[in-house]
Amino acid sequence: GGFASLAGTQAEKKQRIRSQNIVPCTVSQLLAAEQVDETFRIHDVEISQVTVMGIIRHAEKAPTNILYKVDDMTAAPMDVRQWVDTDEAGGENVVVPPGTYVKVAGHLRSFQNKKSLVAFKIMPLENMNEFTTHILEIVNAHMILRKNLMSASRMPQSFSSGGIGEMGGYGGGGSLPVNGLTAHQSQVLNLIKNCPVPEGMSLQELKLQLQNMSMSTIKQAVEFLSSEGHIYSTVDDDHYKSTDAE
């Protein structure tokens, strides 16, 4: 998104710190996030894309969207809306049944003072240990957000959670060095981010640009980035765009 000029705030030009990462959060943290115009802040850092993990308490299917209520015990269940792709049959738009633990990646929204999430990815958890990891990642991420706020100097590197299986970090670079991505994943993500074509970057193009990376390495990186919500497939499973709107 662009930096729209705000009328009347000439005197205090606050430096806009924006998290380019996907921040794991509790529902309670999302509810407590401060809203300024169209943006949300936690620990004074602008956040947009978040992940939450919780159990589906309720699922309601409408023609264009599925409305879930996701409960992570930190507050009342939160509304999570997933837009249904009316062109695509099956697969993407199966309603996840109540009682299922899921990971949600999406954008925070507020309407009439009520916060909700618009999800671009909802995935049932197959391994509940991911939930434990998510708890730890939340504490880690928010501790880092707070530390960045306090300190004016360069940040120390984050605690990469790469040691715990595939639950890697919050990619991209940008203003917060919370980068738990491997070098390969970062390279792939940056290429996809910088691709101007509407249908995104294809695996073949990635292979052409990343001559020293094997196709299987590229595919692994793409799969990881996709599962973490950094990229999404477009016209088919060979084309990807970055979820980070520039």
Partner 1 sequence: MADVHEVPRPRIATGHLAQRIGQPVCFVGRVEKIHPTGKLLVLSDGEGKHATVELSEPLDEEISGVLEVVGRVTNQATIMCMSYVQFREDKSPFDLELYNEALKIIHEFPEYFPFG
Sites of contact with partner 1 (CB under 8 A): 26, 28-29, 32, 55, 57, 71, 73-77, 99, 101, 125-129, 132, 135-136, 138-139, 142-143, 146
Q: What's the closest the beta carbon of residue 135 comes to partner 1, in angstroms?
A: 5
List all residues 6 or more positions away from 81 whose beta carbon is below 8 Å from its beta carbon: 65, 66, 67, 68, 116, 117, 118, 119
Which CB, 121 or 142, lies closer to partner 1?
Answer: 142
Separation between Cα atoms, residue 211 and residue 87, nearest integer Å? 36
Q: Which is nearer to partner 1, 69 or 241 (CB)?
A: 69
Minimum distance from residue 143 beta carbon to partner 1 (Å):
5
CA 122 to chain centre: 11
What value does the CA radius of gyration of the chain take, rounded to a whole number of Å? Answer: 18
- Closest contact distance (angstroms) between CB of 119 and partner 1 is 21
Q: Who's near 124: CB < 8 A, 6+ residues apart?
A: 96, 100, 101, 102
CB of 236 to partner 1, least distance (A): 28
Kindly tell me which of 41 and 57 has the beta carbon lying closer to partner 1.
Answer: 57
Residue 143 or residue 155: which is nearer to partner 1 going by CB? 143
Residue 244, classed as helix, strand or coil, is: coil
What span, in angstroms and rounded, lies between the C-alpha atoms of 37 and 8?
A: 13
Query: What is the closest distance, in whole angstroms, from the C-beta atom of residue 129 to partner 1 in the complex?
Result: 5
As a whole number of angstroms, the distance between CA 125 and CA 106 comes to: 16
Select 75 or 213, whichever has its Cβ closest to partner 1. 75
Cβ proximity to partner 1, 17 vs 31, nearer residue: 31
Written as one string, the DSSP assignment of 12-60 is ------B--SPEE--HHHHHH-EEETTEEEETTEEE-EEEEEEEEEEEE
Q: How far is the CB of 190 from partner 1 (least distance, A)?
A: 29
